[in-house]
Amino acid sequence: MTSDAQELDNDFNYNMVLANHMVTYLQSAMDRQLVRRWLERLRRYRRSRRQMAVRNELMYRLARNLNDAALRPPFTEVPPSGPLEACLHQLSSDDSSGEEKEQKAPGKEEDRPWWEAVDSARGEQRPLVHDRSPDGGAFLAAQPVPRCGVFCYLAVVAKGKDGDKR
C-alpha cells in the first residue's frame, strides 16, 4: 500500500475510533443502529484512492454529527448499496470542514475546562479520583458511563522513590 493510501487509512481509523466511542451517546437506539450500518459500509469502501477519499470525507462528517449528537443527511437514512459519491451532495454546507465555525469568542463557556462544564451542568463537585489522576480525569471523562448498571475503575498504585505511595 502506498504512503498516500496508508495515510488515508490512518485518518479513517482515527475517525472510526472516535465514532465508535461517540455512537454510545446517541439517545435513540434506531440512530445508533443506523450509525453502525454507516460505519460498516464506510469500512468496506476502499477499493481505490478515490473511494478512500470519499469514505474519509463521509467518515469525518459522520464523526462531527456524532460529536454534535445530531444526525444530519445523508446519515439520517440507510447507506446506499451503490457508490457513496452520491451522498456527497447531501452534506450540509454548515457542517463544512472549515475551521471558522469552530472558532469561539474568548470567555465563552466552551473555553472552560471540561470538568467545570460538567460540574455546573450537574451541580456537583468533581469526583476525588479526577483530582488525584495525573491527567486531571481526562481519561475517565472519555470513557462511556452506563445509564444503569455499574461503573468500575481499577487503579494501580506504585511506590515513589521515597517509599510513599503516589
Residue 81: predicted pLDDT:
86
Residues 115 and 141 in one domain: yes
Task: Give the burial string for 17-56 (b: 16+ CB within 10 Å, else e).
Answer: ebbeebbeebeeeebeebbeebbebbeebbeeeebbebbb
Residues 10 and 84 in one domain: yes
Render 92-128 in DSSP notation, one character per residue: -GGG-S-GGGT---TTSGGGS-HHHHHHHHHT-PPPH
Q: pTM for the full model?
A: 0.55
User: Of 50, 81, 101, which closes a domain?
Assistant: 101
Give the domain extent around 90.
3-101
Per-residue model confidence as pLDDT tens digits over 26-51: 888 889 999 999 999 999 888 888 88
The distance between the two most distant Cα atoms of the chain, rounded to a whole number of Å, is 64
User: Of 84, 101, 118, which closes a domain?
Assistant: 101
Give dist(CA 143, CA 136) in Å, integer: 14
CB 9 within 8 A of CB 1: yes
Residues 86 and 31 in one domain: yes
Residue 68: predicted pLDDT:
87
Our count of domains for the chain comes to 2
Average pLDDT over residues 47-59: 89
- The pLDDT mean for the chain works out to 75
Residues 82 and 36 in one domain: yes
Residues 95 and 113 in one domain: no
Residues 64 and 8 in one domain: yes
Residue 22 has pLDDT above 70, yes or no: yes
Give dist(CA 166, CA 158) in Å, integer: 6
Residue 144: predicted pLDDT:
67
Residues 49 and 89 in one domain: yes
Residues 34 and 93 in one domain: yes
Least confident of 17-31, 108-122, 139-153: 108-122
Residues 81 and 127 in one domain: no
Residues 132 and 65 in one domain: no
User: Of 101, 122, 154, which closes a domain?
Assistant: 101
Per-residue model confidence as pLDDT tens digits over 66-117: 988 889 989 999 998 888 888 888 886 654 444 444 444 444 445 555 445 5
Residues 152 and 131 in one domain: yes
Residues 51 and 21 in one domain: yes
Give dist(CA 76, CA 37) in Å, integer: 11
